[in-house]
Chains A and B, each alone.
Chain A
Amino acid sequence: MTTEEQLTMPIEVGQLIGRVEQYKQEGYRLVQIGCTKIGEVYEINYSFDKDFVFRNLRITVNGDTEVPSISGMYWGAFVYENEMHDLFGIQVRGMNIDFKGNFIRTSIKFPFGAAIPKGEQP
Protein backbone atom coordinates (compact mmCIF):
# COMPACT_ATOMS: atom_id res chain seq x y z
CA MET A 1 0.00 0.00 0.00
CA THR A 2 1.19 3.51 -0.77
CA THR A 3 -1.18 5.41 1.47
CA GLU A 4 -1.21 9.05 0.52
CA GLU A 5 -1.74 11.60 3.27
CA GLN A 6 -5.13 13.12 2.51
CA LEU A 7 -6.09 16.02 4.71
CA THR A 8 -9.80 16.87 4.63
CA MET A 9 -10.82 20.16 6.20
CA PRO A 10 -14.51 20.68 6.96
CA ILE A 11 -15.39 24.36 6.50
CA GLU A 12 -18.50 26.56 6.40
CA VAL A 13 -19.94 27.66 3.06
CA GLY A 14 -19.03 31.27 3.91
CA GLN A 15 -15.35 30.34 4.25
CA LEU A 16 -15.14 28.58 0.90
CA ILE A 17 -14.04 31.43 -1.36
CA GLY A 18 -11.37 32.61 1.09
CA ARG A 19 -9.88 29.14 1.53
CA VAL A 20 -9.91 28.41 -2.21
CA GLU A 21 -8.26 31.76 -2.88
CA GLN A 22 -5.54 30.76 -0.42
CA TYR A 23 -4.91 27.48 -2.27
CA LYS A 24 -4.82 29.32 -5.58
CA GLN A 25 -2.20 31.74 -4.27
CA GLU A 26 -0.13 28.88 -2.88
CA GLY A 27 -0.02 27.30 -6.35
CA TYR A 28 -2.35 24.35 -5.87
CA ARG A 29 -4.23 23.00 -8.89
CA LEU A 30 -7.88 22.00 -8.71
CA VAL A 31 -8.16 18.21 -8.93
CA GLN A 32 -11.92 17.83 -8.70
CA ILE A 33 -15.15 18.91 -7.11
CA GLY A 34 -17.46 16.08 -6.13
CA CYS A 35 -20.72 15.78 -4.27
CA THR A 36 -22.05 12.99 -2.03
CA LYS A 37 -25.61 12.73 -0.71
CA ILE A 38 -25.62 11.61 2.90
CA GLY A 39 -29.23 11.28 4.06
CA GLU A 40 -30.79 14.69 3.53
CA VAL A 41 -27.56 16.68 3.27
CA TYR A 42 -24.85 16.95 0.66
CA GLU A 43 -21.10 16.80 1.23
CA ILE A 44 -19.16 18.71 -1.39
CA ASN A 45 -15.45 18.00 -1.67
CA TYR A 46 -13.07 20.47 -3.30
CA SER A 47 -9.77 18.66 -3.92
CA PHE A 48 -6.43 20.32 -4.65
CA ASP A 49 -2.92 19.13 -5.37
CA LYS A 50 0.53 20.62 -5.44
CA ASP A 51 3.58 18.43 -6.06
CA PHE A 52 1.53 15.33 -5.15
CA VAL A 53 0.35 16.85 -1.87
CA PHE A 54 -3.39 16.28 -1.77
CA ARG A 55 -5.69 18.61 0.16
CA ASN A 56 -9.46 18.55 0.42
CA LEU A 57 -11.97 21.16 1.56
CA ARG A 58 -15.41 19.93 2.55
CA ILE A 59 -18.64 21.84 2.91
CA THR A 60 -21.91 20.24 4.01
CA VAL A 61 -25.06 21.84 2.68
CA ASN A 62 -28.80 21.30 2.45
CA GLY A 63 -30.45 20.82 -0.92
CA ASP A 64 -31.63 24.44 -0.98
CA THR A 65 -28.29 26.07 -0.03
CA GLU A 66 -26.76 28.23 -2.73
CA VAL A 67 -23.06 27.51 -3.12
CA PRO A 68 -20.69 30.18 -4.49
CA SER A 69 -18.81 29.29 -7.66
CA ILE A 70 -15.02 29.09 -7.54
CA SER A 71 -14.77 29.45 -11.32
CA GLY A 72 -13.53 33.03 -10.85
CA MET A 73 -10.34 31.57 -9.36
CA TYR A 74 -10.21 28.20 -11.12
CA TRP A 75 -11.72 28.81 -14.57
CA GLY A 76 -12.04 25.08 -15.29
CA ALA A 77 -14.30 24.55 -12.25
CA PHE A 78 -17.34 25.09 -14.44
CA VAL A 79 -17.37 21.44 -15.54
CA TYR A 80 -17.66 20.21 -11.96
CA GLU A 81 -20.10 22.90 -10.87
CA ASN A 82 -22.45 22.30 -13.78
CA GLU A 83 -22.19 18.55 -13.15
CA MET A 84 -23.05 19.10 -9.49
CA HIS A 85 -26.09 21.09 -10.49
CA ASP A 86 -27.29 18.70 -13.18
CA LEU A 87 -26.84 15.48 -11.20
CA PHE A 88 -27.53 16.61 -7.63
CA GLY A 89 -29.61 19.78 -8.04
CA ILE A 90 -27.11 21.92 -6.09
CA GLN A 91 -27.56 25.61 -6.90
CA VAL A 92 -24.23 27.23 -7.75
CA ARG A 93 -24.05 31.03 -7.84
CA GLY A 94 -21.85 32.90 -10.34
CA MET A 95 -20.50 30.18 -12.65
CA ASN A 96 -18.40 31.53 -15.54
CA ILE A 97 -20.23 29.19 -17.95
CA ASP A 98 -23.70 28.28 -16.73
CA PHE A 99 -25.35 25.60 -18.87
CA LYS A 100 -28.58 26.04 -16.88
CA GLY A 101 -29.13 22.34 -16.49
CA ASN A 102 -28.04 21.31 -19.97
CA PHE A 103 -24.42 20.24 -19.40
CA ILE A 104 -25.34 16.64 -18.61
CA ARG A 105 -28.70 15.64 -20.03
CA THR A 106 -30.47 12.99 -17.97
CA SER A 107 -33.95 11.54 -18.41
CA ILE A 108 -34.56 11.94 -14.67
CA LYS A 109 -33.83 15.39 -13.28
CA PHE A 110 -31.22 15.46 -10.49
CA PRO A 111 -30.80 11.65 -10.43
CA PHE A 112 -28.19 11.69 -7.68
CA GLY A 113 -30.05 14.18 -5.49
CA ALA A 114 -33.75 14.56 -4.76
CA ALA A 115 -34.65 12.93 -8.08
CA ILE A 116 -37.72 14.25 -9.87
CA PRO A 117 -39.42 11.41 -11.81
CA LYS A 118 -39.89 12.01 -15.52
CA GLY A 119 -43.66 12.55 -15.43
CA GLU A 120 -43.43 15.14 -12.64
CA GLN A 121 -40.87 17.41 -14.22
CA PRO A 122 -42.01 20.95 -14.94
Chain B
Amino acid sequence: MTKQIIIPFGPQHPVLPEPIHLDLVLEDEMVVEAIPSIGYIHRGFEKLVEKREFTEYVYVAERTCGICSFIHGLTYCQGIEEIMQVEVPERALFLRTIWSEYSRLHSHLLWLGLFADSFGFENLFMNAWRIRERILDVMEQTTGGRVIQGSCKIGGVRRDISGEKLGQMSKDLDSIGQELEELTNVFLRDASIKHRLKNVGVLSRDDAYSLGAVGPTARGSGVSLDMRKTGYAAYGKLNLETVAENDGDCYARCVVRCRELFTSIDLIQQAVRKIPDGPIDVKVTGAPDGEYFTRSEQPRGELVHYLKGNGTKFLVRSRIRTPTLTNIPPLVKMLQGCELADVPVIVLSIDPCISCTER
Protein backbone atom coordinates (compact mmCIF):
# COMPACT_ATOMS: atom_id res chain seq x y z
CA MET B 1 0.00 0.00 0.00
CA THR B 2 1.30 3.45 -0.91
CA LYS B 3 2.31 5.51 2.06
CA GLN B 4 0.14 8.58 2.63
CA ILE B 5 1.60 11.90 3.64
CA ILE B 6 -0.12 15.16 4.52
CA ILE B 7 1.11 18.43 3.01
CA PRO B 8 -0.26 21.67 4.43
CA PHE B 9 -1.23 24.14 1.68
CA GLY B 10 -1.68 27.70 2.93
CA PRO B 11 -2.80 29.74 4.76
CA GLN B 12 0.19 31.65 3.33
CA HIS B 13 0.94 30.67 -0.26
CA PRO B 14 2.13 32.64 -3.33
CA VAL B 15 -1.16 32.07 -5.19
CA LEU B 16 -3.34 32.98 -2.24
CA PRO B 17 -3.91 36.69 -1.70
CA GLU B 18 -5.96 35.73 1.36
CA PRO B 19 -5.61 32.90 3.86
CA ILE B 20 -7.26 29.53 3.43
CA HIS B 21 -5.68 26.29 4.57
CA LEU B 22 -5.90 22.87 2.97
CA ASP B 23 -4.52 19.66 4.41
CA LEU B 24 -3.63 17.68 1.30
CA VAL B 25 -3.46 13.93 1.82
CA LEU B 26 -1.07 12.58 -0.84
CA GLU B 27 -0.19 9.20 -2.26
CA ASP B 28 3.03 9.87 -4.16
CA GLU B 29 2.19 13.06 -6.10
CA MET B 30 -1.57 12.48 -6.18
CA VAL B 31 -4.02 14.22 -3.86
CA VAL B 32 -6.42 11.65 -2.43
CA GLU B 33 -8.16 13.96 0.02
CA ALA B 34 -8.24 17.67 0.81
CA ILE B 35 -9.48 19.03 4.12
CA PRO B 36 -10.16 22.78 4.13
CA SER B 37 -9.99 25.21 7.05
CA ILE B 38 -10.98 28.84 7.09
CA GLY B 39 -11.44 31.32 9.92
CA TYR B 40 -8.01 32.99 9.97
CA ILE B 41 -9.49 36.44 9.42
CA HIS B 42 -13.10 36.06 10.53
CA ARG B 43 -14.37 39.58 11.18
CA GLY B 44 -17.82 39.07 12.70
CA PHE B 45 -19.46 41.63 10.39
CA GLU B 46 -22.83 39.98 10.89
CA LYS B 47 -22.64 40.75 14.60
CA LEU B 48 -22.28 44.47 13.86
CA VAL B 49 -25.91 44.54 12.78
CA GLU B 50 -26.81 44.73 16.47
CA LYS B 51 -24.88 47.99 16.85
CA ARG B 52 -25.50 49.82 13.58
CA GLU B 53 -28.84 51.18 12.48
CA PHE B 54 -30.21 49.43 9.42
CA THR B 55 -29.55 52.53 7.28
CA GLU B 56 -25.89 52.65 8.41
CA TYR B 57 -25.40 48.93 7.89
CA VAL B 58 -25.29 49.50 4.10
CA TYR B 59 -21.69 50.67 4.61
CA VAL B 60 -20.86 47.58 6.64
CA ALA B 61 -22.47 45.29 4.05
CA GLU B 62 -20.43 46.95 1.29
CA ARG B 63 -17.23 46.33 3.17
CA THR B 64 -17.84 42.58 3.26
CA CYS B 65 -15.73 42.40 0.13
CA GLY B 66 -13.16 44.62 -1.52
CA ILE B 67 -13.93 43.32 -5.01
CA CYS B 68 -17.69 43.00 -5.30
CA SER B 69 -18.50 45.58 -2.64
CA PHE B 70 -21.15 47.28 -4.75
CA ILE B 71 -23.14 44.06 -5.16
CA HIS B 72 -23.07 43.42 -1.40
CA GLY B 73 -24.51 46.90 -0.84
CA LEU B 74 -27.12 46.38 -3.54
CA THR B 75 -28.18 43.01 -2.17
CA TYR B 76 -28.53 44.35 1.35
CA CYS B 77 -30.57 47.37 0.18
CA GLN B 78 -32.73 45.12 -1.97
CA GLY B 79 -33.51 42.93 1.05
CA ILE B 80 -34.52 45.86 3.24
CA GLU B 81 -36.60 47.30 0.40
CA GLU B 82 -38.43 43.98 0.07
CA ILE B 83 -39.20 43.85 3.79
CA MET B 84 -40.37 47.47 3.85
CA GLN B 85 -42.17 47.23 0.48
CA VAL B 86 -40.22 50.19 -0.94
CA GLU B 87 -40.74 50.82 -4.64
CA VAL B 88 -37.35 51.88 -6.01
CA PRO B 89 -37.39 54.24 -9.04
CA GLU B 90 -36.62 52.49 -12.29
CA ARG B 91 -33.68 54.73 -13.13
CA ALA B 92 -32.02 53.68 -9.87
CA LEU B 93 -32.53 50.01 -10.76
CA PHE B 94 -30.80 50.55 -14.11
CA LEU B 95 -27.92 52.41 -12.45
CA ARG B 96 -27.53 49.54 -9.96
CA THR B 97 -27.41 47.11 -12.89
CA ILE B 98 -24.77 49.17 -14.70
CA TRP B 99 -22.51 49.36 -11.63
CA SER B 100 -23.04 45.66 -10.92
CA GLU B 101 -21.80 44.76 -14.38
CA TYR B 102 -18.80 47.09 -14.05
CA SER B 103 -18.05 45.24 -10.80
CA ARG B 104 -18.23 41.93 -12.64
CA LEU B 105 -15.91 43.22 -15.37
CA HIS B 106 -13.29 44.39 -12.90
CA SER B 107 -13.61 41.23 -10.79
CA HIS B 108 -13.25 38.87 -13.76
CA LEU B 109 -10.26 40.87 -15.07
CA LEU B 110 -8.66 40.76 -11.63
CA TRP B 111 -9.18 36.99 -11.58
CA LEU B 112 -7.85 36.50 -15.12
CA GLY B 113 -4.69 38.36 -14.11
CA LEU B 114 -4.23 36.32 -10.94
CA PHE B 115 -4.98 33.11 -12.83
CA ALA B 116 -2.37 33.93 -15.48
CA ASP B 117 0.09 34.67 -12.68
CA SER B 118 -0.66 31.29 -11.07
CA PHE B 119 0.57 29.45 -14.15
CA GLY B 120 3.47 31.81 -14.68
CA PHE B 121 2.17 34.02 -17.51
CA GLU B 122 3.29 37.39 -16.14
CA ASN B 123 2.67 39.40 -19.29
CA LEU B 124 -0.93 38.24 -19.47
CA PHE B 125 -1.36 39.16 -15.81
CA MET B 126 -0.18 42.72 -16.51
CA ASN B 127 -2.38 43.10 -19.58
CA ALA B 128 -5.50 41.92 -17.74
CA TRP B 129 -4.88 44.40 -14.95
CA ARG B 130 -4.10 47.19 -17.39
CA ILE B 131 -7.56 46.84 -18.93
CA ARG B 132 -9.06 46.54 -15.45
CA GLU B 133 -7.74 50.00 -14.65
CA ARG B 134 -9.99 51.45 -17.36
CA ILE B 135 -13.00 49.83 -15.65
CA LEU B 136 -11.96 51.11 -12.23
CA ASP B 137 -11.52 54.61 -13.65
CA VAL B 138 -15.17 54.62 -14.73
CA MET B 139 -16.23 53.33 -11.31
CA GLU B 140 -14.32 56.17 -9.71
CA GLN B 141 -15.65 58.80 -12.11
CA THR B 142 -19.27 57.76 -11.60
CA THR B 143 -19.35 56.82 -7.91
CA GLY B 144 -16.33 58.50 -6.39
CA GLY B 145 -14.74 55.21 -5.28
CA ARG B 146 -12.58 52.62 -6.97
CA VAL B 147 -13.05 49.87 -4.42
CA ILE B 148 -15.85 50.94 -2.08
CA GLN B 149 -18.43 52.85 -4.09
CA GLY B 150 -20.96 53.85 -1.43
CA SER B 151 -23.44 54.71 -4.16
CA CYS B 152 -26.25 52.37 -3.17
CA LYS B 153 -28.75 53.28 -0.48
CA ILE B 154 -32.06 52.00 0.76
CA GLY B 155 -34.63 53.40 -1.63
CA GLY B 156 -32.33 53.99 -4.60
CA VAL B 157 -28.85 55.29 -5.34
CA ARG B 158 -26.91 58.32 -4.18
CA ARG B 159 -25.54 59.45 -7.55
CA ASP B 160 -26.90 59.80 -11.02
CA ILE B 161 -24.92 59.47 -14.25
CA SER B 162 -25.59 62.07 -16.93
CA GLY B 163 -26.78 61.01 -20.36
CA GLU B 164 -23.58 62.36 -21.86
CA LYS B 165 -21.42 60.30 -19.52
CA LEU B 166 -23.50 57.17 -20.14
CA GLY B 167 -22.96 57.64 -23.89
CA GLN B 168 -19.23 58.04 -23.35
CA MET B 169 -19.14 54.89 -21.17
CA SER B 170 -20.92 52.89 -23.85
CA LYS B 171 -18.49 54.12 -26.50
CA ASP B 172 -15.48 53.33 -24.29
CA LEU B 173 -16.81 49.82 -23.80
CA ASP B 174 -16.52 49.26 -27.55
CA SER B 175 -12.79 49.92 -27.40
CA ILE B 176 -12.43 47.96 -24.13
CA GLY B 177 -14.21 45.12 -25.90
CA GLN B 178 -11.57 45.13 -28.62
CA GLU B 179 -8.81 44.92 -26.05
CA LEU B 180 -10.67 42.10 -24.32
CA GLU B 181 -10.87 40.21 -27.62
CA GLU B 182 -7.07 40.25 -27.81
CA LEU B 183 -6.67 39.29 -24.16
CA THR B 184 -9.19 36.46 -24.15
CA ASN B 185 -7.84 35.10 -27.43
CA VAL B 186 -4.62 34.32 -25.60
CA PHE B 187 -6.44 32.70 -22.67
CA LEU B 188 -8.60 30.60 -24.97
CA ARG B 189 -6.18 29.71 -27.78
CA ASP B 190 -2.67 29.59 -26.37
CA ALA B 191 -1.46 25.99 -26.49
CA SER B 192 0.54 26.20 -23.26
CA ILE B 193 -2.47 27.57 -21.34
CA LYS B 194 -4.71 24.85 -22.72
CA HIS B 195 -2.13 22.26 -21.79
CA ARG B 196 -2.04 23.62 -18.25
CA LEU B 197 -5.83 23.83 -17.76
CA LYS B 198 -7.55 21.18 -19.85
CA ASN B 199 -8.77 18.12 -17.89
CA VAL B 200 -7.43 19.61 -14.66
CA GLY B 201 -9.69 19.86 -11.61
CA VAL B 202 -12.71 18.31 -13.30
CA LEU B 203 -16.09 18.77 -11.60
CA SER B 204 -18.98 16.87 -13.14
CA ARG B 205 -22.36 18.48 -13.68
CA ASP B 206 -24.00 16.26 -11.04
CA ASP B 207 -21.30 17.00 -8.48
CA ALA B 208 -21.48 20.73 -9.20
CA TYR B 209 -25.22 20.76 -8.60
CA SER B 210 -25.37 18.45 -5.60
CA LEU B 211 -22.38 20.02 -3.85
CA GLY B 212 -23.87 23.49 -4.15
CA ALA B 213 -21.50 25.07 -6.68
CA VAL B 214 -22.53 28.54 -7.86
CA GLY B 215 -21.36 31.13 -10.38
CA PRO B 216 -18.73 30.34 -13.01
CA THR B 217 -17.76 27.25 -10.96
CA ALA B 218 -21.24 25.80 -11.60
CA ARG B 219 -21.58 27.19 -15.11
CA GLY B 220 -18.21 25.72 -16.10
CA SER B 221 -19.74 22.32 -15.34
CA GLY B 222 -22.87 22.91 -17.39
CA VAL B 223 -25.17 24.08 -14.57
CA SER B 224 -26.69 27.26 -15.97
CA LEU B 225 -27.46 28.85 -12.64
CA ASP B 226 -27.43 32.63 -12.77
CA MET B 227 -29.44 34.71 -10.29
CA ARG B 228 -29.64 37.57 -12.79
CA LYS B 229 -32.29 35.43 -14.48
CA THR B 230 -34.63 36.17 -11.55
CA GLY B 231 -34.84 39.71 -12.92
CA TYR B 232 -33.71 41.66 -9.85
CA ALA B 233 -32.59 45.30 -10.34
CA ALA B 234 -33.15 45.95 -14.07
CA TYR B 235 -32.04 42.53 -15.31
CA GLY B 236 -35.65 41.59 -16.06
CA LYS B 237 -35.72 44.30 -18.72
CA LEU B 238 -32.49 43.23 -20.44
CA ASN B 239 -31.69 40.29 -22.68
CA LEU B 240 -29.32 38.00 -20.85
CA GLU B 241 -27.97 34.78 -22.20
CA THR B 242 -26.39 32.64 -19.51
CA VAL B 243 -22.88 31.47 -20.36
CA ALA B 244 -22.19 27.81 -19.64
CA GLU B 245 -19.56 25.26 -20.62
CA ASN B 246 -19.77 21.51 -20.18
CA ASP B 247 -16.25 20.21 -19.58
CA GLY B 248 -16.10 21.12 -15.87
CA ASP B 249 -12.31 21.62 -15.85
CA CYS B 250 -10.16 24.68 -15.10
CA TYR B 251 -10.22 25.64 -18.77
CA ALA B 252 -14.03 25.59 -18.86
CA ARG B 253 -14.22 27.87 -15.81
CA CYS B 254 -11.76 30.21 -17.52
CA VAL B 255 -13.81 30.18 -20.75
CA VAL B 256 -16.98 31.04 -18.81
CA ARG B 257 -15.34 34.09 -17.23
CA CYS B 258 -13.84 35.22 -20.54
CA ARG B 259 -17.22 34.99 -22.29
CA GLU B 260 -18.96 36.72 -19.38
CA LEU B 261 -16.82 39.80 -19.92
CA PHE B 262 -18.59 40.33 -23.22
CA THR B 263 -21.99 39.57 -21.67
CA SER B 264 -21.35 42.31 -19.11
CA ILE B 265 -20.42 44.81 -21.81
CA ASP B 266 -23.58 43.90 -23.71
CA LEU B 267 -25.74 44.28 -20.57
CA ILE B 268 -24.26 47.70 -19.78
CA GLN B 269 -24.81 48.90 -23.35
CA GLN B 270 -28.39 47.59 -23.31
CA ALA B 271 -28.98 49.36 -19.98
CA VAL B 272 -27.54 52.61 -21.33
CA ARG B 273 -29.96 52.43 -24.26
CA LYS B 274 -32.98 51.62 -22.10
CA ILE B 275 -32.41 53.64 -18.93
CA PRO B 276 -35.43 55.88 -18.30
CA ASP B 277 -35.34 59.43 -17.00
CA GLY B 278 -36.68 60.12 -13.55
CA PRO B 279 -35.76 60.23 -9.88
CA ILE B 280 -32.98 58.09 -8.47
CA ASP B 281 -34.32 57.53 -4.96
CA VAL B 282 -37.38 57.62 -2.76
CA LYS B 283 -37.61 58.67 0.84
CA VAL B 284 -37.81 55.73 3.21
CA THR B 285 -39.44 56.08 6.60
CA GLY B 286 -40.03 53.57 9.38
CA ALA B 287 -38.04 50.47 10.21
CA PRO B 288 -38.02 46.95 8.77
CA ASP B 289 -40.33 44.45 10.43
CA GLY B 290 -40.12 41.03 8.81
CA GLU B 291 -37.59 38.82 7.08
CA TYR B 292 -36.35 38.14 3.59
CA PHE B 293 -33.73 36.04 1.83
CA THR B 294 -32.44 38.33 -0.89
CA ARG B 295 -30.32 36.87 -3.69
CA SER B 296 -28.11 38.32 -6.39
CA GLU B 297 -25.37 37.22 -8.79
CA GLN B 298 -21.91 38.24 -7.68
CA PRO B 299 -18.94 37.68 -10.01
CA ARG B 300 -18.31 34.46 -8.04
CA GLY B 301 -21.93 33.34 -8.00
CA GLU B 302 -25.11 33.44 -6.00
CA LEU B 303 -24.99 35.73 -2.98
CA VAL B 304 -27.62 35.44 -0.23
CA HIS B 305 -28.33 38.04 2.44
CA TYR B 306 -30.86 36.91 5.04
CA LEU B 307 -32.26 39.91 6.88
CA LYS B 308 -34.64 39.90 9.82
CA GLY B 309 -36.02 43.01 11.48
CA ASN B 310 -38.34 43.53 14.43
CA GLY B 311 -39.63 47.01 13.72
CA THR B 312 -36.73 48.78 15.47
CA LYS B 313 -33.78 50.54 13.85
CA PHE B 314 -31.55 47.58 14.62
CA LEU B 315 -31.93 44.36 12.67
CA VAL B 316 -32.18 41.09 14.58
CA ARG B 317 -30.04 39.27 12.06
CA SER B 318 -27.99 39.77 8.94
CA ARG B 319 -26.69 36.48 7.61
CA ILE B 320 -24.50 36.66 4.52
CA ARG B 321 -23.94 33.48 2.53
CA THR B 322 -21.15 34.22 0.11
CA PRO B 323 -20.42 32.26 -3.07
CA THR B 324 -16.96 31.18 -2.00
CA LEU B 325 -18.30 29.48 1.15
CA THR B 326 -20.58 27.29 -0.94
CA ASN B 327 -17.86 26.68 -3.55
CA ILE B 328 -15.57 25.10 -0.94
CA PRO B 329 -17.18 21.60 -1.03
CA PRO B 330 -16.94 21.51 -4.88
CA LEU B 331 -13.29 22.59 -4.56
CA VAL B 332 -12.61 19.66 -2.22
CA LYS B 333 -14.14 17.36 -4.84
CA MET B 334 -12.04 18.89 -7.68
CA LEU B 335 -8.84 18.34 -5.74
CA GLN B 336 -9.44 14.62 -5.21
CA GLY B 337 -7.25 12.75 -7.67
CA CYS B 338 -5.30 15.73 -8.96
CA GLU B 339 -1.52 16.15 -9.10
CA LEU B 340 0.07 18.18 -6.32
CA ALA B 341 1.49 20.63 -8.89
CA ASP B 342 -2.03 21.43 -10.13
CA VAL B 343 -3.41 22.38 -6.70
CA PRO B 344 -2.66 26.14 -6.96
CA VAL B 345 -4.35 26.44 -10.36
CA ILE B 346 -7.40 24.43 -9.21
CA VAL B 347 -7.78 26.49 -6.03
CA LEU B 348 -7.65 29.71 -8.05
CA SER B 349 -10.09 28.36 -10.63
CA ILE B 350 -13.03 28.84 -8.21
CA ASP B 351 -11.91 32.49 -7.77
CA PRO B 352 -11.84 32.19 -3.97
CA CYS B 353 -12.70 35.35 -2.08
CA ILE B 354 -11.79 34.64 1.50
CA SER B 355 -12.50 38.21 2.54
CA CYS B 356 -16.17 37.61 1.63
CA THR B 357 -16.19 34.22 3.25
CA GLU B 358 -14.73 35.54 6.50
CA ARG B 359 -17.46 38.17 6.81
A43 to chain B, nearest CB (A): 9
Q: Is the interface of A mostly helix, strand, loop or mixed?
A: mixed
Contact pick for B231, options A2, A30, A97, A112, CB 8 Å: A2
Number of interface residues of B (CB under 8 A): 41
| Proximity bits, A41-53, B CB within 8 Å = 1, else 0 | 0000101000010
Known: A31-B304, A76-B326, A103-B38. A52 touches B88 (CB 8 A): no
> A52 to B229, Cβ gap below 8 A?
yes
- Would you call B330 an interface residue if the criterion is a C-beta within 8 Å of the partner chain's C-beta atoms? yes
Contact pick for A4, options B86, B230, B321, B330, CB 8 Å: B230
Stretch at the interface among B124-132, B209-217, B254-262: B209-217
Tell me the nearest residue of chain B to A34, going by C-beta: B319
User: What's the Cα separation between A6 and B321 when bound, in Å?
Assistant: 17
A10 to chain B, nearest CB (A): 13
Q: Residues of A contacting B8 with CB < 8 Å?
A: none
User: What's the Cα separation between A47 and B319 when bound, in Å?
Assistant: 13
> A6 to B39, Cβ gap below 8 A?
no
| Proximity bits, B227-264, A CB within 8 Å = 1, else 0 | 10111100010000000000000000000000000000
> A105 to B42, Cβ gap below 8 A?
yes
> A103 to B39, Cβ gap below 8 A?
yes
- Would you call A72 an interface residue if the criterion is a C-beta within 8 Å of the partner chain's C-beta atoms? no
- Would you call B272 an interface residue if the criterion is a C-beta within 8 Å of the partner chain's C-beta atoms? no
User: What's the Cα separation between A87 and B306 when bound, in Å?
Assistant: 16
Which residues A95-122 have CB closer than 8 A to chain B?
97, 99, 102-106, 111-112
A121 to chain B, nearest CB (A): 16
B200 to chain A, nearest CB (A): 21
Q: Residues of B contacting A86 with CB < 8 Å?
A: 39
**5 A-B pairs with least C-beta separation:** A76-B329, A104-B39, A32-B321, A34-B319, A105-B39
Residues of A within 8 A of B (CB): 1-4, 6, 29-32, 34-38, 45, 47, 52, 54, 56, 74-76, 78-79, 83, 86, 97, 99, 102-106, 111-112
Residues of B within 8 A of A (CB): 35, 37-40, 42, 44, 46-47, 81-82, 85-88, 209-212, 227, 229-232, 236, 292-293, 295, 302, 304, 306, 308, 316-317, 319, 321, 325-326, 328-330
Please name 23 pairs of A and B residues whose Cβ atoms are closer than 8 Å in the assembled complex, sorted by A.
Answer: A1-B88, A4-B295, A6-B293, A29-B210, A31-B212, A31-B293, A36-B308, A52-B227, A54-B293, A75-B211, A76-B210, A76-B329, A79-B325, A79-B328, A79-B329, A86-B39, A99-B37, A102-B39, A103-B37, A105-B39, A106-B39, A106-B42, A111-B44
Additional A-B contact list (18), CB under 8 Å, known A1-B85, A36-B308 = A2-B230, A31-B293, A36-B306, A47-B304, A52-B227, A52-B229, A52-B230, A74-B210, A76-B211, A79-B325, A99-B37, A103-B37, A104-B42, A105-B39, A105-B40, A105-B42, A106-B39, A111-B47
